[in-house]
Chain A
């Protein structure tokens, strides 16, 4: 370890330092070096001891929470592929097929995203920050499996450049970058992001065809158009349904939520209140289903409120997207309101929006814009309390 560090310090570092051949690429070297070694920086001002946590570990914990969803997503892609083709396949075959489809998306996401981040850091002469580590994993997990890789790349580029770097980089963005990537893909290439062609890979080998009666629609798509679905609530809970790669299994999302809540890195306040918000909207729909304008919508509105949370990306969005501390509400009280309205709007949009059955993306992006307003009012309450105290004092005197 010491030898490796000495090698880096003595042989490599000088090239990147002031006056070195590659000085312009200093942020790249620094990024790699600090990835390998936590630097021996000591506290120079203020407190002399510091907490053992840093942003790298924080981000890493979120990635850990996402891993079960990623692995399950790979298997699920293969599973649905072979069912569509009517071909028997072993668990490993299903998993490997899925991995071959999904891993390139992960590679493209990290490659393009980190590449752009490095580029910006080199141009600005900043240190590389860790923000993209989580976004890079989230983006492939919320894409349909059939999306071309170049679209993933473009979406990532949009998210990194327009979603983050123009605001100043990690910690400065106002929208969740991963969701921006999805929103970009959705509005730019709608035929690749919705409908019933994209969720299951039906690329056929020679002499094969998809089985008769195959429908590639997601459970949520079914519900939105017909009011019913062939997938049971248990299927949806376990995640054996078509959908974006990582979002189908509520069970595994809950496992991730467990890790995030336990470590304190994801806000339980946001998650809890989003579930309450979703349940409230679901219940309202249950009550008013009889007034629906069409039988399909009536059936959709009548879906038991708790089942609404099993379909689509609701759980995934609530646990991994809504809890983004940068784009979400930052005051503890504000987090309750922020989460509640995310849940509420997610279910409302999904039921009422005829163009798009998934509401969580728009709900979170909308609440991203509202988060500063929520915080503003929470903070104003504190300010008013202080002003009232002063007024009382002055009156008393």
Chain B
């Protein structure tokens, strides 16, 4: 028996020694299976991906996402400077408000997806992907004016608590967080430890992402895991949850070859920015927005039980490759295989049937609207 398709990334030859994150021993002590991911040892699973995934959908899961990059961008006009690189309205971002945006290359290709928060006082808190953080830092330093400083907060861990009961568990430890709504954040404290708490996440569920000083994260993780609603969850279930939620993953569904329009992330192009332009790749991106892109990211339900995974081809009736699967797997909450793929824009219509080719075998699939599992964010004005 031998694996020939594995989502767990393998170590690149030039990669330096794998680093250890603050909760490494904590995960191992709780029976996690560890793998190398983005240059770190990370927990891939505890009890099993299926059980962990379903637990998050009904209760709350604790994810260690400390490999992600936390940046603080400071200085007069930091928001305007960042707008030269991102298509989002950062100048108009209110205090304690979070926005999803994209770091763009000069040709409009996507270098990373990220979250930007306006901190009290005006500075910006930015969370970027772990696998890209050092490249992002270099790119930001190269393109931002010298008087804008970037502080890589690598002495901070990042914990996500996700699921419908996350609010109950976190509110018990950190009173007041229940008042936050989706895509807002604030400063809180636990046992004298300063926390920055965001009501956000990447599972489609309600929940929080909490920035914690690394020297206090073990105690905080213990306190969270001691709550009856909470179990530690590995990155395997994080991936299946975000896939069901229709959320693209950088390095898989997003990369420098894709643009925001092809990736169906048009919502990340803020209205003012669309009108004014002035961001990396604006000409190409605004043209694509008006006239369409060649390919478009879609969601697929795969017929049968066999998962179709990243790397499979979308083929036409003659067997010619016309697109590619960028994420795919068995969806525990849906009960069947699902996938994301790039297909010719003319075919990117819900209800369209497609053929997928994987290891010499054809699979039937149908384009469906995403998300595959409805989001359950707690928005402003919504009653609990």
User: Is this pair of chains taken from one and the same complex?
Assistant: no
Interface residues of B (CB under 8 A from A): none
